[in-house]
Amino acid sequence: MWRQVLALVIKELLAVLRDPKSRMVLIGPPLIQLVVFGYAATFDLNHVPMAVYNQDSSQASRELVAHFAGSPTFRVVAMLRSGRHIDTLIDSRQAQLVLVIDRRFTRDLLTRRPAPVQAIVDGRNSNTALLIEGYANTILTDFALRWGRAHGGPAPPAVLDTRALYNPTLSSRWFIVPGIVALLTQVVTLLVVGLSVARERETGTFDQLLVTPMRPVDILLGKGLPGLLIGVLEASAIIAAAVWWFDVPLRGGLLALYFGLLLFVIAVTGIGLMISSLVSTQQQALLGAFLFMVPSVILSGFATPIANMPAWVQDLTLVNPMRYFLVIVRAVFLEGAGVAALVSQEWPMAAIGAVSLVAATWLFRRRAI
Amino acid sequence: MNPVALRRLRGLLRKEFLQIWRDPSALAIAFLLPAVLLLIFGYGVSLDARNVPLALVTQRPGALAASFTAAFSHSPYFRPRPFLTIQEAERAMRAHEVQGIVWLPSDFARRAQAGGDAPIGVIVNGVDANDARIVEGYVQQVWATWLTARARRRGEAAPTPLSVQPRVRFNPAVSSRDYLVPGLIAVIMTLTGALLTALVIAREWERGTMEALMVTRVTMREILLAKLIPYFLLGMGGMAASVAIAVLLFGVPLAGSWWVLAGASALFMLAALGMGLLISGFARSQFVAGQIALIVTFLPAFLLSGFVFDIGSMPRAVQWITHVVAARYFVAILQSVFLAGNVWPVILPNALALAVIAAIFLGLARTVFRRRLD
Amino acid sequence: MPAAADPVPALRCAGLRRRFRIGRRVVVALDDIDVSVARGGITGLIGADGAGKTTLMRLAAGLLQPDAGRIEVLGIDVAREPLKVQTRVGYMPQHFGLYEDLSVRENLDLYADLQGVLPAQRPARYAELLHMTGLGPFTARMAGRLSGGMKQKLGLACTLLQPPELLLLDEPTVGVDPVSRRELWQIIDHLTRNLDATVLFSTAYLDEAERCDTVLVLHEGRLLASGPPREIAAGMDGRSFRATAALGRRQLQARLAGLPWVVDAVIQGGGVRVVTQAGASPDPATMRPAAADVRFVPVPPRFEDGLVARLRAESGRDAAAPGGMAAGDAGVVASPPGADDDIIVVEHLTRRFGLFAAVDDISFRVRRGEIFGLLGANGAGKSTTFRMLCGLLPPSSGRLRVAGFDLRNAAAPARGRIGYMAQKFSLYGDLSVAQNLRFFASAYRLHGARRTARMAWAIREFDLAAMLEATARDLPLGFKQRLALACALMHEPDILFLDEPTSGVDPLARREFWRRINALAEAGVTVLVTTHFMEEAEYCDRLVIMAQGRVLAAGEPEAIKAAARGANRPDPTMEDAFIAVIEAADKRTLAA
């Protein structure tokens, strides 16, 4: 029996590798997605255009503006002479932040009254708005503390000593790139497994296969294993790119990473086989894969945290294998987590894998003969 | 157009509408797909951190420490959990039970009393950099508020002698849904617009009816027009449904006028349908057409439209690529029209760009489609 | 032929050439075609799949540009002025170009709009066409719910709305039942005889060639012959015979096929139709082993005889080689045939899809070592029956046993006793010939030395050595057919299921294929075959005729033909018999 399965696995791999089109599917889109995601998907802000309306024009206010101009986050694009154009600048998106320094700025500083500074932010992109506000606050506070000290003011009772664990420079890329490992592994495995039976049904070879003495379980194994193999290889290539091309640190062990990967690929293969056994054309298979993939990526925490979702949506994510693997891959890459520390993520994937494989076998048996 | 040509066009249009009516797949793509995607994304994508689990480590409780930690309990952003030692807190962080740690060391009160500048340790989990940065900002806000309140209570001058008045234009509550949902509409309509035309024309190739049409007296322009008009109307219907979901279900305010929205949508829909036409000029099966439409519309619209990821912060080369993504211009218009109103300096250049892209796609489709099979 | 003299022929090709690029491969679809077709009458474009028929049709309709050479339709250069040509010709593509989710009336309206038929003209034109096609009662029905024959007639009506000077019909009779085929021919005859239209008609059925005024025979992109069909058969005078002998037609055919003076030997009725080499007369003495009682009766030559003779000359192959597999050398060891040994038993078999009964209460038995045919048009229920027999589809009710097993519940080893060749020769297109063979051998549980031996056998017997590394997708159709049969025979099955095994392949490949099947049957392998080629039914020992899910007739081909014999049909063909059976069934339904 294993000989037949092996023959089917070899046939499946040959079919994928000999056809230039499917070879492209394995290499082209993943490469493009890796590059595009790696470079384009960033929450980091730099060179944010800002304008300053400085009504004070004193040493102190100029110093404050210099702080902003010197920061890599901001780029001062306009110095305003009147307050009339502030809203226009924001509305037309020429500036995302306008800093308004009041006429009383220096006077209030010297008399130890809170000196008024206004920060007007474009809220159309709320995430950017929040980040801009955060950056501006940091610069303003930093300036204020320094000025206070230099002019003999009281020291604050306590200051923040902030430090980010695992990702000290808070680079988005370190967050996104390991996520791509999960994303692309899912896409490729699902397509290879989900389309393979449909392709045979379309060309008529599936009947040919069913009249051989192979049992449905053998066929299922023969269809699933190549997807598993290709998924793991694809993931390895992206892991290598993450480490050597994008310089994301791999702090944990390969054992933890590959153990999680294997569970994930098994779960995805099970789902792919379920799609395979339900559809009869490649078009339906593609549609099925798409219908699974989109919610699964969106509700995985790939780009936005699961914790921000409404409670009922969070409950839905519990059946999404990608959700667990994303935690594992990021934890292993950045936190250096080991196999044991990730049990809470590993067993749900194993459970999803077991359920989907059993379901696929059942569906397959029902349809095949 | 002469009456005979007009009759041909009318015949084709009638056929197209009958097909739309009898084969539900086009209606599903136009209405069901955007609605489902909008719901998934609308509920699934949120950047608003609320109730962030935060470890508060107070190694030696006292009045000062208590007043500081109380400030966190009042913040809507945090769900504080008290810890007595930093080791326990770090363990909780490793187990992903808390997102960050605020640590008041044992000498906190003494140093604060002695000369100030007592360090408060803030440790955030930096894995999700964006989330971490937002949490950092929130912590800083809590701290600043605490300082000012304390100074006022004691009648002292504020140690940070600035009064920062932040003002967020257009989205004062900084709700991410209000800005994400309009952008989503652009992303989703790119996909459905391109899919609609690409699939229906590929279907004609597949079933051999295109071949039969081509040998009649009908011209290619009539065939393309007969595809464009019904699916334009259908796409606009889907668009209207999406806007209705955004406004009625997600409560996104619509600050600008309906007319501007409709006009910009029409331009964008022409660009999206044009892209679909172009795809179907190359792909002669629904399977291939669907695949290409997914790859060339969905992903670029999602990543390169500025809908989540700020275009200005991308590498220069990537920024250049974003200029050919129609969704980029539509996202800009939508975010303004929904949140800001009829901001003409944003609307006009972007609408112009949309018009140019639509013209290019439709023009290319016109040249790619010949009355030939090769 | 007067065509050359006609100042404005219907179709004229000069040095016409057209290639296609499929991946990295360049396929020459048409190679240097020079031909002229006069106006008036019916011209048949004859050839197997891949011969270039559709390419020539599309070039004539202005849907493709030639790579080289010139093609003129009604005196107009098609490449230069396609629109002008298109306003004067009607073209029905394969699958008829209908919108399936539009009704008959809506399809007519659409094409009337597109062809510029004025609203005032329509009622009369519609009435005429609906009467001619017999679609009158069905105007409100969706085109997708029409039978194959009705679709074909609707497609034709749509192209005739604005009466064309030249009508191009691309394989209008493929997969259509014989009754509809006959009706289509009546319409075409009416058009050409009474309405002065010119018809260019492509087909893979050789018997249709004889009804044409002129035929163009395409073979692998080249024009093999052109002219009136009788002219092509003319050189065959005195070379066609009907041979009979006591030893049985299959044995007789096997012995005749290998002889040097025989060009063609096919089973027909109870005997063998033999075509001799030019100048040679039947010489029973050369037969090995000898058959003393063999008798040769001269018969009038037919178009197919002429075509096969030309193809043989073209390919340089004689009637026997390759694959002249002698009985006993089939490489198959099956149990010897027993007299009343029913290896396939079907009783009251029914398969419903929803409310529709695709197979409706059928029963038949197949004896060991028999070639058994399932004959019927597309949609008759052949394939559904077939899939149930192979265990690919569960029956809704009824009983079926194959080699003593119900394959649906039988353990895997039971399936090891059957071989299956699916429609369109399903192979793994991306795999090489050798990889396909190896995979199917392994799937049938062969390994080690046994697998090596069987692969060597397949490569030798099916003459595959030269193409072992070629990718299966790129093989010519005849080669694919051979490889598919080799794969199905890897494990020496007792029963062989063949689903439309010869559709689309050229006459030589078909003969070669049937010779192999005959040899297998002689060796005791039971063969179950579906076909819509009526003459192939003659090769079967017994057959059933199916229509609308029911068995209308069963028995030996001769008996079925004899039942159709009447005053106006002294010597009915299989097609005549088929039509008679269907008409009788319709009459019964009407009476009931």
Domain ranges for chain A:
2-41+171-368, 48-150
CA of C230, closest CA in chain B: separation in Å? 33
The DSSP element (H or E) to which B293 belongs, if any, is helix B286-293
Query: Residues of chain A with pLDDT > 70: what percent?
Result: 99
DSSP A259-316: HHHHHHHHHHHHHHHHHHHH-SSHHHHHHHHHHHHHHHHHTTTSSS-GGGS-HHHHHH
Mean per-residue pLDDT of chain C: 84
How far apart are alpha carbons A54 and A67 in whole angstroms?
14
Distance CA C146, CA C103 (A): 10
Domain count, chain B: 2
Residues B32 and B119 in one domain: no
State the Cα–Cα distance between residues B84 and B58, nearest whole angstrom: 6
Same domain, B90 and B36: no
* Chain B contact probe: residue of A165, A175, A320 with most B CBs at under 10 A: A165
CA distance linking residue A169 with residue C213, whole number of Å? 85
Clarify whether residues B253 and B329 are in a common domain.
yes
Q: Which 8-state DSSP code applies to residue C126?
A: H
Q: Which two tokens stand for residue A230?
A: 């290709």
The predicted model gives C163-184 an average pLDDT of 86
Is residue C337 very low, low, confident or very high in pLDDT (cuts 50, 70, 90)? very low
Chain A nearest-CA residue for C485: A208
Say if the Cβ atoms of B8 and C113 lie within 8 Å: yes
From the list A14, A208, A214, which residue is nearest C435 (CB)?
A14
Same domain? For B39 and B56 the reply is no
**Token representation of residue C325:** 């597999």
Of B10, B11, B373, nearest to C64 by CB-CB distance is B373
Is residue B146, in this structure, part of any structural domain at all? Answer: yes
Q: Do C415 and A208 touch (CB under 8 A)?
A: no
Say how far apart CA C37 and CA C335 lie, in whole Å: 56
For B163, the 3-state DSSP assignment is strand
Rounded to 5 degrees, what angle do the CA atoms C561, C567, C573 make?
30
Count of CB atoms situated within 10 Å of the CB of C285: 8
Nearest to B215 among C86, C102, C109 (CB): C86
**B239 lies in some domain:** yes
Q: Which residues contact C400 (CB under 8 A, 6 or more apart)?
A: C344, C345, C346, C347, C349, C388, C389, C406
The model's confidence at residue C330, banded by pLDDT at 50, 70 and 90, is very low
Distance from CA of B231 to the nearest CA of A (A): 21
pLDDT tens digits, one per residue of C200-210: 999 888 888 88
How close is the nearest chain C Cα to the Cα of A366, in Å?
10
To the nearest whole number, what is the mean pLDDT of chain A?
A: 87
Touching A (3+ Cβ pairs <8 A), the chains are B, C
Identify whether residues B240 and B287 lie together within a single domain. Answer: yes
Please give the DSSP secondary-structure letter assigned to residue C136.
Answer: G
Check pLDDT > 90 for residue C130. yes
Interface mutation vs chain C, best among A208, A214, A365, A366, most C CBs within 10 Å: A208
Would you say A361 and A216 are in contact if contact means Cβ atoms under 8 Å apart?
yes
Residues A332-353, mean pLDDT to the nearest whole number: 91
Pairing of strands C68-73, C76-77: antiparallel
Give the pLDDT confidence score for residue C4 in this predicted structure.
Answer: 47
Nearest CA in chain B to C106: B15
Global pTM reads: 0.85
d(CA A271, nearest CA chain C) in Å: 24
Per the domain annotation, does B149 fall within a domain?
A: yes
- Regarding whether B135 and B279 lie in a shared domain, the answer is no
CATH of the domain at B128: 3.40.1710.10
Asked whether residue B373 is assigned to any structural domain, the reply reads no
Domain presence at residue B143 = yes
State residue B171's pLDDT score: 67
Interface of A with C in 194-223 (CB under 8 A): 203-205, 207-215
- Angle subtended at Cα B51 by Cα B50 and Cα B52, rounded to the nearest 5 degrees: 95
- Residue B158 located in a structural domain: no
Q: Is B247 a residue whose pLDDT tops 80?
A: yes
Residues B224 and B322 in one domain: yes
Q: Give the rounded percent of residues in chain C with a pLDDT score beyond 90.
A: 26
> Chain C within 8 Å of A4 (Cβ-Cβ)?
yes
Q: Is A48 exposed, middle or buried (0-12, 13-18, 19+ CB in 10 A)?
A: buried
What are residue B370's phi and psi, to 5 degrees? -120, 170
Q: Which of B7, B209, B217 sits opposite C97 (nearest CB)?
A: B209
Contacts of C116 in chain B (CB under 8 A): 4, 7-8, 217
Interface test with B, best of A27, A162, A188 (most B CBs within 10 A): A162
Residue of A nearest to C473 (CA): A19
The three-state secondary structure class of A171 is: coil
Which among B113, B312, B343 has the least Cβ separation from residue A92?
B343
Taking the CA of residue B169 and the nearest CA in chain A, the distance in Å comes to 5
Q: Which has the higher per-residue pLDDT, A344 or C535?
A: A344
Q: Which residues pair with C272 in a beta bridge?
A: C243, C267
In this structure, the answer to whether residues B359 and B277 fall within a common structural domain is yes
Distance separating alpha carbons of residues C246 and B177, to the nearest angstrom: 90
Measure in Å the smallest separation between the Cα of B224 and chain C Cα atoms: 14
B contact chains, 3+ CB pairs < 8 A: A, C
* pLDDT score, position C1: 41
Q: Which domain holds residue B66?
A: 52-153
The predicted structure's pLDDT at residue A368: 57
Cβ distance of A207 and C435 shorter than 8 Å: no
Instruction: Give yes or no: residues B138 and B238 share one domain.
Output: no
Cα dist from A106 to A55, A111, A112, B155, whole Å: 10, 9, 10, 21
| Residue A345 CB partners (closer than 8 Å, separation 6+) | A260, A324, A325, A327, A328, A331
Non-local CB neighbours of C564 within 8 Å, separated by 6+ positions: C572, C576, C577, C580, C581
Which chain C residues have a beta carbon less than 8 Å from that of B217?
Answer: 83, 86-87, 114-116
Q: Does A14 touch chain C (CB under 8 A)?
A: yes
Residue B170 placed within a domain: no
Q: Which of B153, B185, B200 is the last residue of a domain?
A: B153
The pLDDT of residue C2 is above 60: no
The whole-number average pLDDT for the span C533-553 is 86
Is the domain of B58 the same as that of B38?
no
- At residue B15, the pLDDT reads 93
Task: State the Cα–Cα distance between residues B307 and A176, nearest whole angstrom.
Answer: 17
Find the residue in A nearest to C391 (Cα): A369
- What is the model's pLDDT at position C324? 42
pLDDT winner (highest mean) among B24-28, B240-244, C459-463: B240-244
Amino acid identity of B113?
A: Q
Indicate whether B297 and B234 sit together in one domain. Answer: yes
* Cβ–Cβ < 8 Å for C320, C329: no
Q: Which residue of B has its CA nearest to A128?
A: B310
Inter-residue contact C432 to C472 (CB < 8 Å): yes
CATH of domain A48-150: 3.40.1710.10
Which residues does A98 contact at the CB level (< 8 Å), separation at least 6? Answer: A50, A51, A52, A53, A80, A86, A89, A90, A119, A120
| Residues B111 and B240 occupy one common structural domain | no
What pLDDT is attached to residue C453? 93
Residue by residue, DSSP assigns C82-98 as HHHHHTTEEEE-GGGG-
CB B245 within 8 A of CB B211: no
* pLDDT score recorded for residue B110: 86
Query: Alpha-carbon distance B245 to C300, whole Å?
Result: 78
State the pLDDT confidence band at C387, using cuts at 50, 70 and 90.
Answer: confident
Residue ranges of E strands in chain B: 52-58, 78-83, 100-104, 118-125, 162-169
Residues of chain B whose beta carbon is less than 8 angstroms from a beta carbon of chain C are 4, 7-8, 10-12, 14-15, 18-19, 22-23, 207-209, 211-218, 371-374
For residue C431, which residues of chain A lie inside 8 Å, CB to CB?
A: 11, 14-15, 18
